[in-house]
Amino acid sequence: MESLSRLLSGLPDMTFMQKAEKTIQELLSDPLIAKLRAKHPELDEPTLKIHMNRLYQYVTEYRNCSNCPGLDKCPNDFQGHYTRLAVEENAGHTYIHDYKVACKKQLSESTRQAIRSRIRSFYIDDKALEDGYSSEDILLMDLERAQAVSQLQDYIDRTKEDGLQREGLYLVGKFGTGKTFLMCYMLHQLAQQGLTGVIVYMPDFVEDLKAMIAEPQRLKETVELMKETDLLVFDDIGAENLNPWARDHVMGAILNYRMNRKPTFFTSNYELDALEQHFSFTSRDGEEEFKGQRIMDRIRPFVSVITVGGYNKRGAGKTL
């Protein structure tokens, strides 16, 4: 921000005292300073002149905020903040102190960042987690999924009122109906209540697990994160190329830990019975019906199924 001394140097050619007096009078006649003086009659002109730099910054930043160019282009000394003044008397003398206050845009951005920091995503486009859509936006986008949106909103409201649930949700439907987005919406809503969340795209996650075998610390940290987070979403489960180790020692361990503790959520194109068949077959060991049943015993009793109807929004270029 332009300093008072720099402003004085840019005035037309005149003596320094003339420049200073002209600037001082303009500043003292500013409506903002007049309002300050009306509130604090003890502020005489000599006192004001002693604190001219503070007065100048106060007025300048107020004007900047009145014509806000946006948080990214904030011209104030401290981005997203403006100067406020406080007047106090001490030992018979009057003093003006300045302090910084966050503007509404900064407060909103800080809140957004705090919410977003509570959600971790693996192999998921972050856009759906960034945008704070309303339930009305989601509902009106596709009325064919109205029942699913209503059921999801009921779950969100119940969690907000009663706290973290033990039961999760299983969203099933055709390709592109917005199941992933609905889960991102839920995470965003509940992160506002202070809950943490993780969403992981299963096909890429299972592929990445192969690399994690050589990185045991990374594997341990990832599994622990998924175990401990308040809300865990396995997105597009059933679409992964499963192997026994990923199924039994990673998925199984996570689900075994979370059941009866914290809710786990799933999106899938498969009904639960079809998902069990998927888990009963691996590319290495072939048919293992018992193993499929075992992992489904950690899913089926701990979810409510929501069928997501509607049309394929990917083909229509939609995001919701």
DSSP 230-241: SEEEEETTT-S-
pLDDT in tens, 5-26: 665 555 555 566 676 778 788 8
Residue 109: φ, ψ to 5°: -65, -40
- pLDDT of amino acid 70: 94
The rounded distance, in Å, linking the Cα atoms of 7 and 16 is: 11
- pLDDT of amino acid 124: 85
- pLDDT of amino acid 99: 94
Confidence band, pLDDT 50/70/90 cuts, at residue 1: very low
| Contact assessment for residue 118 and residue 191, using Cβ atoms and an 8 Å cutoff | yes
Instruction: Give the number of other CB atoms < 10 A from CB of residue 217.
Output: 8
Mean pLDDT score across all residues of the chain:
88
Residue 206's contacts (CB-CB under 8 Å, 6 or more residues apart) are 240, 241, 242, 243, 246
- pTM reported for the whole predicted model: 0.76
Residue 93: φ, ψ to 5°: -115, 150
> Cα–Cα–Cα angle for 134, 139, 140, nearest 5°?
100
pLDDT in tens, 203-244: 999 999 988 988 999 999 999 999 999 999 999 999 998 888
Cα dihedral 212→214→219→221 (10° resolution): -130
The rounded distance, in Å, linking the Cα atoms of 182 and 138 is: 8
Share of the chain above pLDDT 70, in %: 88
Three-state DSSP at 283 gives: coil
pLDDT in tens, 51-103: 889 999 999 999 999 999 999 999 999 999 999 999 999 888 899 999 999 99
Angle subtended by helix axes 16-28 and 52-66, to nearest 10: 60
Confidence band, pLDDT 50/70/90 cuts, at residue 130: low
Q: Which helix (H) or strand (E) holds 31?
A: helix 31-39
pLDDT in tens, 141-165: 778 889 999 999 999 999 999 999 9
Instruction: Give the number of other CB atoms < 10 A from CB of residue 170.
Output: 24
- pLDDT of amino acid 65: 95
Instruction: Give the number of other CB atoms < 10 A from CB of residue 282.
Output: 20
